[in-house]
Amino acid sequence: MRRFWLIFSQAVTVGLALLFVVATLKPQWLPRERPSRTTPPTLSLLAPPLAASGVRPALLEAEPSSPTHNGGYRLAARRAAPAVVSITASKAPPRSAARGGDDPWLRFHRGLRQRELERGDEGEGSQFGLGSGVIVSPEGYLLTNSHVVAGAAEIEVQLADGRQAKAELVGSDPETDVAVLKIALDKLPVIALGDERALQVGDAVLAIGNPFNVGQTVTSGIVSALGRTQLGINTFENFIQTDAAINPGNSGGALVDEQGRLVGINTAIFSRSGGSLGIGFAIPVGTARQVMQALVSEGQVARGWIGVQTRELTPEFVEAFKLTVHEGVLISGVVVNAPAAKAGIKPGDVVTRVAGTLVHSPTQLLAAVSALKPQSQAAIAVQRGDQAMEFQLKVGQRPLQPARE
């Protein structure tokens, strides 16, 4: 037995020695092991021959799209982007020099980029306003900002698919900064309208437009705040604030939710440099839709008006005049022969209700009165000293305000 084990050991040693010599000097003599089907080939080996043959490797195929795949919003962008257009509005030369850079209005960028074109030696030229718009109906109606097309002699729209068309200005409402255009093209991509009332602070949103005229661009952010007012941008303000990057040329473009539905029209940013600082504002889609319906059906937005000037009701005023109310809006002035003056409302009165709606600030009073139908009758409740009074008046129509370019 001992002798047999010795022979076996020597044979194994000699065999291993021969295998080592063959593997070192003649490796091709040895049989190759086939790769296991459960072991995926590496990209470094597959990429060169597949690239040369024009075939994409299976490992590089994209996974099914979803709104939040890998933290992205490709599906939302794919749904909304085709309906966002670039707008070029040619304008007449300005009659006066441009306003200085210290104008507070310029702190709120409104997306209007102008470029003067020289004409010979006369030094005169036309201007071009660059902005964005959103197709909202198969009939060719577009939403954009009033300031993008204000004073335009000609408006041209370019779609994301490369088509171009002259646009007709259906109407404009400078007090909300909403304008409606119409183009005559078939098979138009139409964006789905969302509901801004469902938005909450922290919701993801995308801003789509044509910043700096570089081409359609999508940026992402969140809803930073809702119901922003008293910014001095428009007469009627109820902005969605977002930190999605909005830059010159984005005005009139789309603010969409993570499903690609339109929730706002981008209109302004707060900026000290002209670029995005992460404070952008959009007009809620509900407001834009109401304005569009009025402009399409009537050519203008008819709002109620009673002809008063207002101020905040302060505790000092309440104490000085010994009022029995602490909430309301102080009337500081009344327009001669306006509905309020004809009804008997006087400076010093405190308005507490408009047609049954409580008002606590000048902004609320303006919104409540504007919602009244012109030529209708409305009840205005006021506090005059220690007396509660109610006046019936015939609502007038708010005078049209000039467009602010």
User: Which residues participate in catalysis according to the annotation?
Assistant: 147, 177, 251
Strand partners, 172: 179
Q: What is the largest CA-CA distance in the chain?
A: 132
- CA-wise closest residue to 365 among 235, 173, 189, 184: 235
Dihedral (Cα; 131, 136, 141, 147), 10-degree rounding: -30
Give the separation between CA 69 and CA 82, rounded to whole angstroms: 20
In 201-334, where does DSSP find H-type helix?
285-298, 315-320
Give the separation between CA 5 and CA 8, rounded to whole angstroms: 5
Task: Retrieve residue 308's tokens.
Answer: 């008063």
Distances (CA, A) of 180 to 115, 144, 151, 293, 334: 24, 6, 14, 9, 34
Show Cβ contacts of residue 382 under 8 Å, excluding neighbours closer than 6 positions.
328, 331, 345, 349, 350, 351, 352, 388, 389, 390, 391
How far does Cα 193 stand from its chain's mean position? 13
Ramachandran region of residue 252, left (φ > 0), alpha (ψ -120 to 50) or beta?
A: left
